[in-house]
Structure 1
Amino acid sequence: MTTVTEISEGVENPYALSHLDALESEAVHIFREVAGEFERPVILFSGGKDSIVMLHLALKAFAPAPVPFGLLHVDTGHNFPEVIEFRDRTVARHGLRLHVASVQDYIDDGRLRERPDGTRNPLQTVPLLDAIGEGRYDAVFGGGRRDEEKARAKERVFSLRDEFGAWDPRRQRPELWQLYNGRHAPGEHVRVFPLSNWTELDVWQYIAREGIELPPIYYAHERDVFRRAGMWLTAGAWGGPKDGEPVERRLIRYRTVGDMSCTGAVDSDAATIEQVIAEIAASRLTERGATRADDKLSEAAMEDRKREGYF
């Protein structure tokens, strides 16, 4: 008797999912699971590539209906203009609701104090937690991936946060067989990471496959930058450059985007998606390890912020 194995040997299985299909299916399942379990979810959306991919997946998950969640962005006031323009254009194109929590507002009224180094990324925690409380959000989608950084590598897909937004490793739950437990007490919420199992290369391959538009700074372009701590930073109102940090015109691109004061560029001539994918495939440094100064403030910088409620 002929077996199924014998029939399929040497023949491509027409029902097998590619790795991108499998990742997409998992993320779509997570979005729908949250829609069924929670009352007031929200998607963190900055206009960066991971949040753009996350929104694309959400649109797919609920099509042809609109996305049933609003968007939330904690704006440091030192974001790249190209990214903010893209954020607003994307929100308008899809008819979405966007709430912006402004770090500048907190500095202006004295609730936060400017750091001496000009970096505002660590100042996002309080506005984020206030926005979550005011919006009564019980599930908050984030674009974090486990390959980015060691504190993110041990994170669950459903990450329980207490009433202060803090992460406690002892309270995290097992997630066997893609079964997610969203149970939480009043005042608590859950951070949800649909891209947990994706890599930077996966993200870019998916962007290429789906034809997803990105802000132009992700591709090679000429820009005025200066060198600090081994990274090319953009000059701006946040305080750079200092004396002895000459500004140069270079061909660069950004692998990740955030506050201008701590997001470094890389030398690159990758002007197309195909060239970016080839560049990433050859890289031995993670995007955050290579270009995010805020992760280098201490050995446990991201871990500390995670416990405080930022990530």
Structure 2
Amino acid sequence: MTIAAAVHEETDSPYALSHLDALESESVHIFREVAGEFENPVLLFSGGKDSIVMLHLALKAFAPAPLPFGLLHVDTGHNFPEVLDYRDRTVARHKLRLHVASVQDYIDRGVLKERPDGTRNPLQTLPLTEAIRHHRFDAVFGGGRRDEEKARAKERVFSLRDEFSQWDPRRQRPELWNLYNGRHAPGEHVRVFPLSNWTELDVWQYIAREGIELPDIYFAHEREVFQRNGMWLTAGEWGGPREGERVEKRRVRYRTVGDMSCTGAVDSDADTIEKVIAEIAASRLTERGATRADDKLSEAAMEDRKREGYF
């Protein structure tokens, strides 16, 4: 039996849910809860695997009706072309509303400045928070999972943000028996994480079970990369490679996808979903811990950004 087929295996009781069914049920419940409780939700969608699974669950939650909210993407201007192409094809296929907040626009207007290291991921906070304020979104779905990073492990499913979109861990609310408190004052909003209890392995097993299409970048392919700080980065206009950094062609894949300047590839021969699942099952590093330079800026890099309004 293949790993992908194993996720279909029946449980002992005809009434028991498999672990994927239980996770799916929880996420669908969260989407429906938000749709019934909030006036103007939006789903963060970048074309990365977690946001793809999140959108799949949202479409399933409201089928056959259309999705009752739009999508929001904070475009750094340094995104992988394969991922942007996937984003646009998905939006067109499902006839969805897409709002794009552009980091490049803020740089062109002089509101933000390029960082010396070239990465724009930390620059996403202002475009994100201003888009939320401009469109008056009162609930924002994000694809964060607790297994990714220690700051994200602190988040509740419903995470209250103040009028400046800032996160205060001391204002976390209890969520006993899957009861979610979405009450918020005018100007505040709630970040909602339907995949909180999923792991990277769960996500890939669900992708296999549901037959969800992904950008090819997630599977092993030949790519020109160079090494910086122990990571294989893709060359581009963002500032790489520097003098002395040698570009070479390697067989790699991406476990997570963000800004090209801070998202590293991993050496891999996993060119099918089954091989990816086997590779992840044997890994002892989370995808962010292994391949995201923006999380290595300091011990509390993610938490600092979340306090400022980052997702």
Taking structure 1 as the reference length, the TM-score comes to: 0.96
- Residue 154 of structure 2 contacts residue 169 of structure 2 at CA under 8 Å; is this kept in 1? no
How far does residue 275 in structure 1 lie from its aligned partner after superposition?
0.1
Structure number with bigger Rg? 1
Aligned to 2:134: 134
How do residues 1-311 of structure 1 correspond to structure 2 at under 5 angstroms?
12-311=12-311
Question: Once superposed, which parts of structure 1, at least 4 consecutive aligned residues long, lie more than 3 Å away?
Answer: none
- Residue 169 of structure 1 deviates from its aligned partner by 1.3
User: What is the identity, as a one-letter code, of the residue corresponding to 1:70?
Assistant: G
Question: CA-to-partner distance for each residue in 1:28-55, whole Å, 9 max, x for gaps?
Answer: 0000000010000000000000000000
One-letter amino acid of the counterpart of residue 254, structure 2: Y
Instruction: For 1:146 and 1:174, locate their aligned partners in 2 and report how far apart those are by CA, in whole Å.
Output: 16
Q: Distance in 1 between matches of 2:263 and 2:125?
A: 18
C-alpha displacement at 1:300, in angstroms? 0.5
Instruction: Give me the identity figure in percent.
Output: 87
Alpha-carbon distance in 1 for matches of 2:152, 2:141: 14
Q: Which amino acid aligns with 2:77?
A: G
The DSSP-based 3-state class of the residue aligned with 1:279 is helix
Q: Distance in 2 between matches of 1:150 and 1:171?
A: 18
Q: Secondary structure at the match of 1:226?
A: strand
Paired with 1:78 and 1:170, the residues of 2 have a C-alpha distance of 34
Instruction: State the one-letter code of the partner of 2:29.
Output: H
- The amino acid that maps onto 1:68 is P
Aligned partners of 2:187, 2:12: CA distance in 1, in Å?
Answer: 50
Aligned residues: 301
3-state SS in 1 of match to 2:74: strand
For residue 94 of structure 1, what is the amino acid of its counterpart? H
CA deviations on 1:100-146 (whole Å, 9 max, x unpaired) are: 00000000010101111100000000000000000100000000000
User: Cα deviations across residues 151-201 of structure 1 (Å, max 9, x unaligned)?
Assistant: 001110000000000001111100000000000000000000000000000
Q: Is the 8 A contact 2:148 2:288 kept in 1?
A: yes
TM-score (norm 2): 0.96
**2-side partners of 1:166 and 1:172: how far apart?**
12
Deviations 1:192-237 (A, max 9, x none): 0000000000000000000000000000000000001110000000
One-letter code of the match for 1:204? W
Mark the runs of 5 or more structure 1 residues left unpaired by the alignment.
Answer: 1-10
For 2:214 and 2:77, locate their aligned partners in 1 and report how far apart those are by CA, in whole Å.
20
SS in structure 2 at match of 1:52: helix
Residue aligned with 1:250, SS? strand
